[in-house]
Chain A
Amino acid sequence: MPIEANGKMYETDEEGYLADLNDWNPELAAAMAKADGADLDENHWEVINFLREYYEEYQIAPAVRVLTKAIGKKLGPDKGNSKYLYELFPYGPAKQACKYAGLPKPTGCV
Chain B
Amino acid sequence: MSEPWEEEGPGTIKKFMYVNRKAPYGTIYALESLEVVLIAAAFEQDVSMAFLDDGVYQLKKGQDTKGIGQKNFSPTYRALEGYDVEKLYVEAESLADRGLSEDDLLVPVEVMSREALAELMNEQDVILSF
Per the bound structure, the CA–CA distance linking A66 and B85 in Å amounts to 11
Chain B residues within 8 Å of chain A by Cβ, number = 19
User: A-contacting residues of B (Cβ < 8 Å)?
Assistant: 3-7, 35, 38-39, 41-42, 71-73, 75-76, 78-79, 82-83
User: B-contacting residues of A (Cβ < 8 Å)?
Assistant: 57-60, 62-63, 65-66, 69-70, 81-83, 85-86, 92, 107-108
Per the bound structure, the CA–CA distance linking A81 and B7 in Å amounts to 13
> In the complex, what residue of chain A is closest to B75 when comparing beta carbons?
A59
Main secondary structure of the interface of A (DSSP, over half): helix
From B72, B76, B83, contact of A63 by CB (8 A): B83
Per the bound structure, the CA–CA distance linking A69 and B7 in Å amounts to 14
| Cross-chain contact B71 with A62 (CB below 8 angstroms) | no
| Cross-chain contact B79 with A58 (CB below 8 angstroms) | yes
| Cross-chain contact A108 with B78 (CB below 8 angstroms) | no
**Provided the pairs A82-B5, A83-B5 are in contact, do residues A57 and B78 lie with their beta carbons within 8 angstroms?**
yes
From B4, B35, B72, contact of A86 by CB (8 A): B4
> In the complex, what residue of chain A is closest to B83 when comparing beta carbons?
A66
From B42, B72, B76, contact of A108 by CB (8 A): B42
| Cross-chain contact B76 with A60 (CB below 8 angstroms) | yes
Give every chain A residue within 8 A of B6 (Cβ-Cβ).
82
| Cross-chain contact B73 with A108 (CB below 8 angstroms) | no
**Closest CB in chain B relative to A52 CB, distance in Å:** 14
